[in-house]
A and B are shown apart, each in its own frame.
Chain A
Amino acid sequence: KAGVTQTPRYLIKTRGQQVTLSCSPISGHRSVSWYQQTPGQGLQFLFEYFSETQRNKGNFPGRFSGRQFSNSRSEMNVSTLELGDSALYLCASSTGTGSPYEQYFGPGTRLTVT
């Protein structure tokens, strides 16, 4: 069974630009969650999508948005990039139902904003 894939793996952008990251979950998984990981803040929850609907949302500004497609693939978009957005962005997939909702993480996209 293929794992969670994320593209691209590395990205360099400049302030003010926007970026789109992609996540393909494990086959059969309907839930995709996105996290931002930085050395200072650790892993912080951005949002979760389940069956093409945003089911949960963290405390990030509206510049961070996402969507999920009918095949469960998900994208997240960050507009008007700031230096502080430099981070590892991880997505995690799970079945989204039942318990314990074990999440499987992808390798992440390393975003550097200059």
Chain B
Amino acid sequence: GQNIDQPTEMTATEGAIVQINCTYQTSGFNGLFWYQQHAGEAPTFLSYNVLDGLEEKGRFSSFLSRSKGYSYLLLKELQMKDSASYLCAVRDRRRGGGNKLTFGTGTQLKVEL
């Protein structure tokens, strides 16, 4: 099975940089996803890592270390609209393939002026 940990809440200032960490323990790893979820809305895909290293996509970057069971999501030049829950999810390696994602409980980010 999977066990995923991420901080419950974080607060940061508009224009700053924030790093949201995620640690996981897995019996079979086949990729890590980050999703953003605004209150009352569906999660939206931010990033995907399957190999070690940094993936950059505009103001958002995600890092993965498989040996350490660790990932982080880096948000730069924070904007008020970035206030949301950020979900870390790990996909199982399964013989039949497919999507079985295990989600962390999410990190509620609050961006302040």
Interface residues of A (CB under 8 A from B): 4, 31, 33, 35, 41-45, 48, 50, 55-56, 58, 90, 92, 94, 96, 99-108
Closest A residue, CB atoms, query B102: A45
Contact between A48 and B31 (Cβ–Cβ < 8 Å)? no
Q: Which of B12-20, B37-45, B67-75, B76-84 contacts A (4 or more CB under 8 A)?
A: B37-45
Contact between A103 and B48 (Cβ–Cβ < 8 Å)? no
Nearest Cβ in chain A — how far from B12, in angstroms?
22
Contact between A56 and B98 (Cβ–Cβ < 8 Å)? yes
Most chain A Cβ neighbours within 10 Å, of B48, B87, B91, B101: B101
A56 touching B31 in the complex, CB below 8 Å, given contacts A100-B50, A105-B42: no
* Chain A residues whose C-beta falls within 8 Å of the C-beta of B45 in the assembled complex: 102-104
From B33, B43, B50, B105, give the contact of A90 (CB < 8 A): B43
A55 touching B42 in the complex, CB below 8 Å, given contacts A100-B48, A102-B48: no
Nearest Cβ in chain A — how far from B65, in angstroms?
18
Contact between B99 and A103 (Cβ–Cβ < 8 Å)? yes
- Chain B interface bracket (under 10, 10 to 19, 20 to 34, 35 or more): 20 to 34
Other contacts beyond A42-B103, A43-B106: 15, CB < 8 A:
A4-B42, A35-B103, A41-B105, A42-B105, A45-B101, A48-B99, A55-B97, A99-B31, A99-B50, A100-B50, A101-B31, A101-B98, A102-B45, A102-B48, A103-B101
* Chain B residues whose C-beta falls within 8 Å of the C-beta of A44 in the assembled complex: 103
Chain A CB within 8 A of B96 CB: yes
Nearest Cβ in chain B — how far from A71, in angstroms?
19
Q: CA separation between A9 and B98, bound complex, in Å?
A: 27
Nearest Cβ in chain A — how far from B68, in angstroms?
21
A42 touching B106 in the complex, CB below 8 Å, given contacts A48-B100, A55-B98, A56-B94: yes
* Chain A residues whose C-beta falls within 8 Å of the C-beta of B31 in the assembled complex: 99-101
A31 touching B41 in the complex, CB below 8 Å, given contacts A42-B103, A42-B105: no
